[in-house]
Structure 1
Amino acid sequence: MKILSLESSAVACSVAVCEDEKLLAQSFQHSGLTHSRTLLPMCGDLLKNCGLTLEEMDVIAVAAGPGSFTGLRIGVAAAKGLAWPWNKPCAGVSTLEAMAWTLAHMEGDICAVMDARRHQVYNARFQAGGGVLARLSPDRAISIEELAGELVERKKTQILVGDGAVLCYNELTKRGLPVELAPPHLRLQSAWGVARGALELARADGLVTAAALSPVYHRLSQAERERLAKEKEMTVKNDKGEEQHG
């Protein structure tokens, strides 16, 4: 099964061509250019360099979320545009799961984290072993404090992956929790992980049509949004109070 995968959920973007679990080629860009300018040309160039055509692809896969709302919309729109002319099935892959797949060759707990601001992270936890992932939690928005509480009960070393890995490493080590950072070259999002997640979806009959493909934003819960709004309001009041006394 040949898969063309796209990853544009964060600052960097990448595209990959895979055949089943084998990576044929991957292109990565972190130049500061917008994904709307770079993503489709990257796909075209990668296919050309592989001597392949879009028609030969069996699945078009994309990181569907969580992540940058703009980046997710660009990625999903690009995947739809690539899939529609040839009526190709699509895979909307969890960004967090895709990151975990890059570490599936390791043994132990994988904790995928993306910075959601103000001590919140988008998170999912997995157990890796023998090139296979077992999901331990759903994708969710969670406070670092809540995550720490879960990990205390888990009592296992966590391998942190994602753009929130360093943030969580610093906070969790303060609490004495056993955590490790994934190697730098495997720490961030990659299109290969998206392709690997897409392969699992295909095996589980989880592919969708281009029309049904959509981003999954994983917004913070209403309670969390209200709590953060109150914190922001208190911060503003405190700042004004300091100005008046200054």
Structure 2
Amino acid sequence: MFKLFEKIKQSRIALVEWSKAIFGNSKTKLQVLQAELEDLSLQNNANNAQRISTLKSEINTILHHDDLFWRQRSRSIWLPAGDKNTKFFHQRESQRRRKNHIPGLQDTDGGWYTLDEQIAHVAEQYFKELFTTTNPTDMGSVLYVMDRCVTPHMNNALLQRYTPDEVKWALFQMHPSKSLGPDGNVVSRILPKVLANRLKTILPTIISEAQSAFIPNRLITDNTTVAYELLHRMQNKRNGKVGQMAGEA
């Protein structure tokens, strides 16, 4: 894990240096180009037409890159970058920072903690207690009546060591505008994707066709919609001798 974080850190440093070398200070460069464009426009000289066209193209490129930068920072990947979007992206980024900020956490004893180390400890203890087993007994009688869906062959495939190709595939499934940070978030995203990619190979054989969850293009809320439609049908069918169902209160 340490090696992964170090590689992400070194990649971030390299990308920052690359950005400085290629783009530099875009705000200063934009001001210089706009000043030159204004000066040439005031001269009203036909010989400056080519230079004016070049300046406009460079200014548009800088503005487009600026829009893309703030679009990525704001995580608004659903909105295409374009003119007059920068203000929205600034506001979106500020809103995202406020929303993601955790001022403090309260533990089970009622204590309030605000330091980063304390917040991490409270969160860790909460989930540790939540997912710690209570050591139930006599689980065999419960499992005995359940049909076995996962075969030994499937189980053996799931228990195989993960390969670099699987990790790479999961990483490249992430959105290209999502930046990676050395804070563990990228790891927490890759691991579920790697697990999900393996589970996808056996899910069609262990999930019922009537099940709405874990099925592509279906939602668990579809069950609520179906139940509502059935009740609506029953309430509106007042006439006729041919029934469709029987209900007992």
- TM-score calculated relative to the size of structure 1: 0.20
Higher RCO by CA contacts (8 Å cutoff, separation 6 or greater): 1
Counting strand residues as a fraction of each chain, which structure ranks higher? 1
Higher radius of gyration, 1 or 2:
2
